[in-house]
Structures are given as structure tokens and as C-alpha cells.
Amino acid sequence: MKYARIIGTGGYLPPNIFTNADWEERVATTDEWIVERTGIKSRHIAGVDETAASMGTIAAQKALESANVAAKDIELILVATGTPDKIFPATACLIQKNLKIPTCIAFDIQAACSGFVYALSIAEQYIKSGTVSKALIVCSELMSRLIDWSDRSTCVLFGDGAGAVILEASSAPGILATGLYADGNYDKLLYVDNQQLRENKNYISKTSHQYLENLHPFIQMQGQRVFKLAVAKLGDLIKDIQLKHKITLEEIDWLIPHQANMRIIQATADKLHLPMEKVICTVETHSNTSSASIPLALDIAVRDGRIKKGQTVLFEAIGGGLTWGFALAKL
Ligand code: UT7
């Protein structure tokens, strides 16, 4: 049987660090509130010249180096981002150009914070079907450009960064199972409207204006409802993993959850009966980097030697859509 194996990881965090004290100077918040409710102490904020493609290119370069794979051998580029440089071409094509990757399949996916698990599952299908043998996944997010810097209920939660992995066809086990889910009925709980749609409004009829005037260009979130759904849906995932995929919890060496809130991470670990020592947490210093949060955490834990070759890692995420899902992989 052909598997898709993760053979390299890379990450990029902008050098500029923004602490909770920096937010205290801008909005009516406190370090105490942010730490108690979320576990976040700081986040990285991209410079004015940085984009999803520029950050993603650095993360991808590092992943290629760690996998010892040449750019010319990549046959599929998948980029998950909610902050693409352009509406089109896809950020995947821009990263392809930057890395001088020859003609291949390249496209972006939009699954908000679940982007990494969605991308893993898509890349796995391409590899298992024999269509490609090496794939690059990049998750790159400029959340600082999507927040309203005066809205304390959302601005303190997010940060910027990029993570990447290289996948390869292998006869040895790699990705063992994936499960993807979405329910668009929850679209109003967490969203950003497309501001671009406003631009040509003068040419459109008066009735359309009302819709266009109400567009929200910044993150809108019903925090408590998303929190409760996150705990419930991630709990359901665990049952799914055990029943449908017949995977026992003892087989899981590490959990790498989406890094949105320490309380959600703790609740998920409890449901898995995993001690927190088996959970990779970066939310304290990265905050929520949407789809980039899991591959960034993976890269850090692989490079610092916590996650070792042959170990089994469970990735799980939930985000706007709502979308949610998991991937279980032997590294
Ligand atoms: O990545 C995609 C998935 N996203 C998530 O998983 C996020 C899920 N949601 C959450 O993590 C939490 O709901 C938040 C961290 C966003 C909020 O925590 P909460 O415990 O649900 O707080 P809350 O929204 O119920 O707000 C409690 C109070 C409110 O004041 P009142 O009405 O009780 O007087 C807020 O106005 O905290 C207030 N508040 C703040 N106070 C200080 C909201 N934001 C802040 C702030 N600083 N930054």
C-alpha cells in the first residue's frame, strides 16, 4: 500500500514580537485577562513588506532543506491561507515562482484554521492515487491584517506566521487516517467579508448597496459560541478516530492541536486522556496563527527533538466555516 509520509518541516515567524503589554497600551485589556482566558502572552506581527507568499516561501525553503528535497522535484504545491497576496493568481503560484519550482499542480485552499488538516488530506489523495510523488504544503497567515486593531474581543487573539511540510510517497506508514468536516450553517460565527466586493459598488443597483455597505473587512467572531462548538466538535472527532478509524488512544504519542486557546487545548487533551506533556503547545508565544499554527508547532517540536521519527502524531483543528478535522500520521 502506498502512503504519504511527512519527510520535512519548516516554519517562519516574523521577528517583531507584540506582547500583551503592547495591547494594554492600545485597547482596554489586561495581561491577566488575556492569559487567564486564552493562555496567550505574545504573538509575532509581520512587517509591512511581508506577505503570505514571502513568509510561506521562507517556511517552504526550510522544509525542503530539512527533507533534503530539491525544489525541482515538487509536483504539487498546496497553500492554505486566509490572507492571500492576491485574489488570483493563487499564493501557491507565487511561492512556486519564488522557489523556481518547475511546472506542477499549484493551488490555494480555504478552510480557515483547519487548512493544514484539509491540505494534508488532499495531498494524501494525490500521492496515494499515484498522481504525484512529492508535495509541498504551506500554511501562511497574516492575521494582523485581518483584525480590527481597536476591537479588544478579537485583536489580542491572533498573530502572523507560516509553516510548511514536504510529503513523499512511501511504502512505510505515513498518514494513517484523516477526517474532514464542515457545516456552513455556522458561517456567521466566525468570518471576514471580502472587502474587494465593495470597490465597484457605484456601478451596481441601489438594492445591492445595502449588502455591500454591511461588509465587515475585519474578523467577526462570536467567541463563546465558537468556544463551546470547538470543545464539542473536537470531542466528537476523538470518538470518530476511535470508532470509525479503529485507532486506540494508546497509539498516539503526541497531540498537536490548532493553537487558538489553551482552555480548548486542555479540554481536548483531557478527552484523549493525554497528559499535557504529550501536547505540543505554542499558543503562549504564537497566539492564533490560523492554519499555520499546527505546522509551526510541528516544526518546533521536530527541531527541538521532542517528536521523533516513527512516532504517531494526531493533528486536529476547528475554524471558520465552520470547518474541522483531524489527521493521524506516523512520522
Ligand atoms: O481559531 C478559530 C477558533 N477560535 C476559537 O477557538 C476561539 C474561541 N473562543 C475563545 O477562545 C473565547 O471565547 C475568547 C477568548 C474569545 C473569549 O473568552 P470568553 O471567556 O468566552 O469571554 P467572553 O467573550 O464571554 O467575554 C467575557 C468578558 C466580557 O465582558 P462582560 O460582558 O462580562 O462585562 C467581554 O467584554 O470579557 C470582556 N472582554 C475582554 N476584557 C478584557 C472581551 N475581550 C476582552 C479583552 N480584555 N481583550
Tens digit of pLDDT for each residue in 82-112? 999 999 999 999 999 999 999 999 999 999 9
pLDDT mean over 263-284 = 95
**pTM reported for the whole predicted model:** 0.96
Q: What is the CATH number of domain 3-172?
A: 3.40.47.10
From the CA of 179, how far away is ligand 1's center (Å)?
29
Residue 203, pLDDT score? 63
The protein residue whose alpha carbon is closest to atom 19 in ligand 1 is 224
Lowest-confidence range among 54-58, 117-121, 192-196? 192-196
Domain locations along the chain: 3-172, 176-186+218-330
Instruction: Taking the CA atoms of 207, 213, 216 and 222 in sequence, report the sign of the dihedral they define.
Output: negative
SS3 37: helix
Among 182, 188, 136, 183, CA closest to 162:
136
Share of the chain above pLDDT 70, in %: 96
Assess whether pLDDT exceeds 80 at residue 208.
no
Confidence of residue 2 (pLDDT cuts 50, 70, 90): confident
User: Is 113 a catalytic site residue?
Assistant: yes
The rounded distance, in Å, linking the Cα atoms of 99 and 36 is 42
From the CA of 223, how far away is ligand 1's center (Å)?
6
Ligand 1 atom closest to 290 (CA): 1
Confidence of residue 147 (pLDDT cuts 50, 70, 90): very high
Cα angle for residues 43, 166, 319 (degrees, 5° grid) = 45
From the CA of 324, how far away is ligand 1's center (Å)?
21
User: How far lies 306's CA from each of 229, 278, 313, in Å?
Assistant: 30, 9, 11
Residue 240, pLDDT score? 85
Q: Which of 93, 155, 258, 261 is catalytic?
A: 258
Check for a shared fold between 3-172 and 176-186+218-330: yes
Instruction: Taking the CA atoms of 166, 169, 174 and 175 in sequence, report the sign of the dihedral they define.
Output: positive
Confidence of residue 8 (pLDDT cuts 50, 70, 90): very high
Ligand 1 atom closest to 152 (CA): 48
Tens digit of pLDDT for each residue in 287-327? 999 999 999 999 999 999 999 999 999 999 999 999 999 99
Tens digit of pLDDT for each residue in 18-46? 999 999 999 999 999 999 999 999 999 99
Tens digit of pLDDT for each residue in 48-68? 999 999 999 999 999 999 999
Q: What is the CATH number of domain 176-186+218-330?
A: 3.40.47.10
Residue 248, pLDDT score? 84
Between 123 and 199, where is the model more confident?
123
